[in-house]
Amino acid sequence: MKILSIDTSSIVSTVSIIDEHKLIGEEIVNSKLTHSEKLMPAIDRVLKNCEFTIDDIDVISVALGPGSFTGIRIGIATAKALAHSKGKNIIGVSTLDGLALNMPMCHMLVCPILDARRNQVYTAVYKWDKDNLEIIRKHEAIELDEVLEYLMARPESVVFLGDGVEKYREIIEEKLKDKAYFAPRSVNMPRASSIGEIALKRANSNDFDNLYGLNPIYLRKSEAERQYEEKMRKCGQND
C-alpha cells in the first residue's frame, strides 16, 4: 500500500510517499514561496523521483492543522482533488500528532508548539508507551504559560518542537529550566512522512475519512471571522 502525504499547515511544504516497508521519498521545502507555488511541483517531483504516477498511489493523506489557515486549506483542497479525480481513499491527520511522531520512542513528554499569534500557541502533550504514542493533553489554542504550568507540575522532562520553539525558547527555559529539551532542527518542522506513518496505521485498519466530510482543524476562528463577528456585534448595538 502506497500513501502520498501532504503537509502545508506551516511555512514548510512537505510531500512524501511511504509504504508498509519504507519511506520511499520525501521533499521538504522551507522557503517563503507560497504553497500554491510550491505544492504541486513538489508532488510532481516526488512522484517522478520515485518512478510513480498518481495512479500507483493507494491513499492520499493530508495534515488538517492546526496552523496556517491558508496553508491548511490549500493542502486539503489539493488532497481532495487528487483523491476525487483518481478515486483514492483519503485520510486526514492532525499536524500536532504528526509533529509529535517526529520524536519516536522518546522517554520524555513530547510537546509540539506552533505559533498561533495573538499571544497563543497551538499545542498538545504526548507520551510514548512502548511503540504507541498517547495524547495526554488535548489539542488546544492557548497561552503558552498555561501549558507550561501544566508541565511544571509533572515530574517528567519535556522535549519541545515546532515553529513556536524559536519564538518562545527563552520563556520555556526560564520556566522549566533543566526539564526542558529541544528537538534537533531536522525534526523541528512538519514532515509529510510522519503524517504518512499515522495514515498507514489507519489505512491498515480500513479507517478512511469521508472525502466530503473532511474538514480542517483550526482550533479557533480565523481573523476574518473574528472581524466579521465584531462588525456584526457593533451593528447590533447601533440598531
Delineate the domains of the chain, giving CATH numbers in brackets: 3-95+190-222 (3.30.420.40), 103-187 (3.30.420.40)
Query: What number of H helices and E strands is found in the chain?
Result: 7, 10
Task: Give me 135's grid cell.
Answer: 495524547
- Cα 145 to Cα 166: distance, rounded to the nearest angstrom: 16
Q: What is the pLDDT of residues 169-206, one digit of tens each?
A: 999 999 999 999 999 999 999 999 999 999 999 999 99
The interaxial angle of helices 164-176 and 144-152, nearest 10 deg, is 40
According to DSSP, the β-strands at 120-129 and 59-63 are unpaired
**pLDDT surpassing 90 at residue 48:** yes
Cβ atoms 212, 81 nearer than 8 A: no
Task: Give me 193's grid cell.
Answer: 512522512
According to DSSP, the β-strands at 12-18 and 23-30 are antiparallel
Angstrom CA distances, 176 to 73, 164, 182, 189, stand at 35, 16, 12, 22
Q: What percent of the chain has pLDDT over 70?
A: 92
More confident residue, 169 or 228: 169
Cβ atoms 217, 123 nearer than 8 A: no
Angstrom CA distances, 47 to 21, 42, 133, stand at 18, 9, 29
Cβ atoms 63, 93 nearer than 8 A: yes
Phi then psi dihedrals of residue 121, to 5 deg: -130, 155
Binned at pLDDT 50, 70 and 90, residue 118 comes out as confident
Half-sphere exposure of 69 (CA within 13 A, CB side): 10
Outline where 139-191 has alpha helix (H).
144-152, 164-176
**pLDDT surpassing 60 at residue 234:** no
Query: Which of these ranges, 54-58, 83-87, 92-96, 228-232, has the smallest mean pLDDT?
Result: 228-232
Q: Please, what is the average pLDDT of the chain?
A: 93
Binned at pLDDT 50, 70 and 90, residue 31 comes out as confident
- Cα 26 to Cα 37: distance, rounded to the nearest angstrom: 18
Say which amino acid occupies 153. A
